[in-house]
Structure 1
């Protein structure tokens, strides 16, 4: 694929310091760099027709200005900034172009990092998995559930994902929704489909308990409106209550560490609404930085048959009779297995569920973890 056909070069040039983020990556300025062998690809988005056509179409470059000035983190970077994505003649054309590019990059084991644009652009991100021949788990972080396609594409994109054909959605997780902004019917729909929704208060109460949910996802879609307006004044729907900047960075750090996570999108940033010191752009840039940092701290938690894992079999005395738990010696993270001898092909990769020690402790008391039962119902 000739990627330069899909991108406009960036003119952002901030920090010549050898220790800066900018000096540690390959950037599409006058010539598209070679992307072969790269780990991640930065993609600026300028498409806002799904929600607010008056938004600043140069918003992605404001994030770049903040990101480029940060110091390089851990690891040997293999990161390319492809530039700003060229919109299609119609909004639907933009989705399809994004689908093509994201699908291509993921086939090359390059993680797309999308930033800017309206939240409905995660449709292009999700469509990119269509040819991957696997079932996909989607993590959406937003202060409300966007199921209403009668309003705008940005208010109905999740409903579009749920109804999309062909259907390759295995799990849908929604974090940090605010009850007073969310229709109860949407919450009931998520529960009825054996998906999972966690309200803001639960996320903030103990964010470490949320890590297994992030670890189970293939794709992260993050609406900046999930943050408090203090941290994200340029997110159109941000409220007084929400995640802090530190909590948002913690979640993207978890996402980076997730071996399954193959794409991430940070959406709903309008630079024209940002503070003079570009507070929202700075928060977004640090979220990207923490994702990159998490990526280069991955422990290789994939082969559960290796000697890198301890296996614990808990006898429940009911149905199921036992549950197997696995603990990584490398990362000390936990998983539980859903036994299903008939599960082959698409379902097979989803038999291991990320969990915490608290789930293991619950099983020791003879109780079945809710997440185990939800997954069992699906497979």
Structure 2
């Protein structure tokens, strides 16, 4: 039987930014926090598990490894999630010696959580980690639909591209994968290779341009409803709202729009995995990006609790 405590460094509640921990109205009030002195013994009673993965290797920049703790500090300052959904914060996953080791460990964790019908909320780390989501569904022998909120379709014809820009190469190139359908919400035409877009259209993927989505954001709700895994790349948000990422763009979603999309993902009865990736606190300004990332997670959990 998998002991999750072997995979995680417990949450440290002594770090600056956790000062609201004792407030009944604060986020931590109805969250079980896996700490050194209060480690989880039975995971089965929980519906949602928050897990940080501080690994930025195989990505465009290394700073995303700092994101889980930086986002967690902002998240714990927010209000408690309404309702009685049982949530656990497992802490940060121990980084593997190699990135492949991290992927293997994350795959084991996701596989075991999914088997117990516990929804993982992954705080990356880079979107290169999405490969572990694919592997976990494949181990479960479950076909799945992946929806990504991303300005790019992360598939490339460049063999030297970082994995964070090419995880779809690995997923679609794996003949054992149970991946069945891809949806992109918010791609920006000028950031994508038209040949790649055409390739995914031929595969009957659903690709929604940023301009079309912003005209009627509510029309994306059925797409989340029909998806099994939702991944959010923070670079889908315009630079003015989220400067802390390796590849910011002056265009993209506003903060309130990305939070609404996240809430739609949470409302979905079908969704089994949620992940937020590519936040780089080293490039952030006054915690603007990590603060927004925390609110994205909060709105997902608030939607899930409905």
Could you say whether these structures have the same fold, taking a TM-score greater than 0.5 normalized by the shorter chain as the test? yes
Match of 1:19 among 25, 29, 32: 25
* Structure 1 counterpart of 2:106: 98
- TM-score, normalised via structure 2 length: 0.93
Take 2:7 and 2:238, find their aligned partners in 1: how far apart are those partners? 34
Take 1:166 and 1:279, find their aligned partners in 2: how far apart are those partners? 40
Shift of 1:56: 5.8
Shift of 1:87: 1.5
Whether the 8 Å contact between 2:125 and 2:277 is mirrored in structure 1 is yes
Tell me whether 1:73 sits opposite 2:81 in the alignment: yes
Take 1:120 and 1:56, find their aligned partners in 2: how far apart are those partners? 11
Match of 2:35 among 12, 19, 29: 29
* Structure 2 counterpart of 1:162: 172
Which structure has the greater CA radius of gyration?
Answer: 1
Task: Give the SS at the match of 2:264.
Answer: helix
Whether the 8 Å contact between 1:126 and 1:219 is mirrored in structure 2 is no
Whether the 8 Å contact between 2:263 and 2:299 is mirrored in structure 1 is yes
Shift of 1:53: 5.5
Take 1:282 and 1:53, find their aligned partners in 2: how far apart are those partners? 20
Shift of 1:136: 0.4
- TM-score, normalised via structure 1 length: 0.76
| Runs of 4+ in structure 1 over 6 Å off | none
* Structure 1 counterpart of 2:152: 144
Task: Give the SS at the match of 1:98.
Answer: helix
Task: Give the SS at the match of 2:145.
Answer: strand
Take 2:304 and 2:232, find their aligned partners in 1: how far apart are those partners? 17
Name the structure, 1 or 2, with higher relative contact order (CA <8 Å, separation 6+). 2
RMSD: 1.3
* Structure 1 counterpart of 2:301: 292
Count of residue correspondences: 296
Shift of 1:52: 4.5
* Structure 2 counterpart of 1:315: none
- Give per-residue Cα distances to partners, 1:332-363, cap 9 Å, x unaligned: xxxxxxxxxxxxxxxxxxxxxxxxxxxxxxxx
Take 1:56 and 1:132, find their aligned partners in 2: how far apart are those partners? 29
* Structure 2 counterpart of 1:112: 120
Take 1:125 and 1:245, find their aligned partners in 2: how far apart are those partners? 26
Whether the 8 Å contact between 1:47 and 1:57 is mirrored in structure 2 is yes
> What stretches of structure 2 of length at least 5 have no aligned partner?
none
Task: Give the SS at the match of 2:265.
Answer: helix
Shift of 1:162: 1.3
Whether the 8 Å contact between 2:30 and 2:81 is mirrored in structure 1 is no
Take 1:54 and 1:188, find their aligned partners in 2: how far apart are those partners? 31
Higher helix proportion, which one? 2
Take 1:83 and 1:156, find their aligned partners in 2: how far apart are those partners? 27
Whether the 8 Å contact between 2:135 and 2:177 is mirrored in structure 1 is no
